[in-house]
């Protein structure tokens, strides 16, 4: 696919003395979309945070391409009651020296950007997620799907070569799901590397070129159609793949 935008080798992480990731090997190339699949507590979010440098590994290495990765957190990590507009929230991510998802009232600022290029970049990011017409609306007045689009725009405003998303399809409406799916496909076509955690296997199959089954370590990694072996799902989730799941991954009709 091209140059690796992310490469983790023998990555091992413990939190509070508890092992969370054990010798994880994972690479994501430029222009590739990889879905990170696993049960709750499998270490998916910890892996993203390790890539961002927010968690210190016990061992192994992480290498990313030039520039800072874009990160789309889960919606509860943003301070939605802070009095700032949609455009201001995205502009803040462009100017912030901290990670964009750290959006507490203390760190958000309502003042306009000092450079026209920054304001234009914020406008372009909002246009990509279909929120240009809501640029001046307070973020607290947005629906769940619109809030998710704001988080994606905040990640895109820096034009990252690597985009990390944590459960981007959870709790959003169908139009937002469709918009995000189309956007991720376009970003990959433009050369952006995408790594996302998700529990939505149907969405992952339609969006991702590869799935990585994770449960503290990589259980399997490959195109969706190649991951229908029941043993893989037993090892990753503790349950075997059902007939419907096999059909879903293979792209066939189970009926």
- Each of the 255 residues of the chain gets a pLDDT tens digit; together they read 458 999 999 999 999 889 999 999 999 999 999 999 998 889 999 999 999 999 999 999 999 988 889 999 988 888 898 889 999 999 988 876 555 444 444 444 444 445 888 889 999 999 999 999 999 999 999 999 999 999 999 999 989 999 999 999 988 889 999 999 999 999 999 999 999 999 888 888 888 999 999 999 999 999 988 887 778 878 888 765 555 555 555 554 443
Note the pLDDT of residue 171.
86
Write down the residue that tokens 């799907």 correspond to.
145
Strands (E), the chain: 4-15, 18-29, 33-37, 59-64, 70-72, 162-166, 193-197, 210-215, 217-222
Question: Contact, 219 vs 213, CB < 8 A?
Answer: yes
**pLDDT recorded at residue 8:** 96
Domain 4-69+160-250 has CATH 2.60.40.740: no
CATH 3.40.50.300, the chain: domain bounds? 4-69+160-250
Dihedral of CA 36/39/43/45: which sign? positive
R_g (Cα) of the chain, nearest Å: 18
Distances (CA, A) of 231 to 21, 228, 240: 21, 9, 6
Instruction: Please name the residue that has the structure tokens 């201001």.
Output: 88
User: For 145, phi and psi rounded to 5 degrees?
Assistant: -65, -40
Neighbours of 28 (CB within 10 A): 27
Strands (DSSP E) found in 55-202: 59-64, 70-72, 162-166, 193-197
Q: Provide the whole-model pTM.
A: 0.86
Residues in contact with 62: Cβ distance below 8 Å, sequence separation at least 6, in sequence order: 6, 7, 8, 11, 50, 51
Contact 5/161 with Cβ under 8 angstroms?
Answer: yes
Residue 3 DSSP symbol: S
């Amino acid at each position: 696919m091209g140059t690796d935008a992310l490469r983790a080798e023998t990555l091992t992480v413990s939190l509070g003395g508890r092992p969370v990731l054990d010798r994880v090997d994972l690479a994501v190339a430029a222009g590739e979309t990889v879905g990170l699949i696993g049960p709750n507590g499998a270490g998916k979010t910890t892996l993203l945070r390790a890539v961002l440098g927010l968690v210190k590994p016990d061992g192994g290495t992480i290498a990313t391409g030039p520039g800072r990765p874009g990160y789309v957190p889960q919606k509860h990590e943003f301070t939605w009651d802070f009095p700032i507009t949609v455009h201001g929230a995205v502009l803040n991510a462009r100017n912030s020296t901290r990670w964009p998802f750290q959006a507490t009232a203390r760190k958000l600022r309502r003042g306009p950007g000092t450079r026209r290029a920054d304001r234009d970049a914020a406008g372009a990011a909002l246009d990509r997620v279909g929120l240009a017409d809501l640029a001046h609306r307070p973020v607290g007045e947005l629906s769940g799907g619109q809030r998710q689009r704001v988080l994606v725009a905040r990640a895109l405003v820096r034009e990252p070569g690597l985009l990390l998303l944590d459960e981007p399809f959870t709790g959003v409406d169908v139009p937002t799901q469709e918009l995000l799916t189309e956007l991720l496909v376009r970003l990959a076509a433009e050369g952006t590397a995408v790594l996302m955690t998700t529990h939505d296997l149907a969405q992952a199959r339609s969006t991702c070129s590869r799935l990585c089954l994770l449960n503290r370590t990589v259980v399997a990694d490959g195109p969706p159609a190649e991951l229908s072996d029941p043993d893989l799902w037993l090892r990753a989730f503790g349950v075997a793949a059902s007939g419907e799941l096999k059909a879903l991954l293979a792209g066939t009709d189970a009926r």
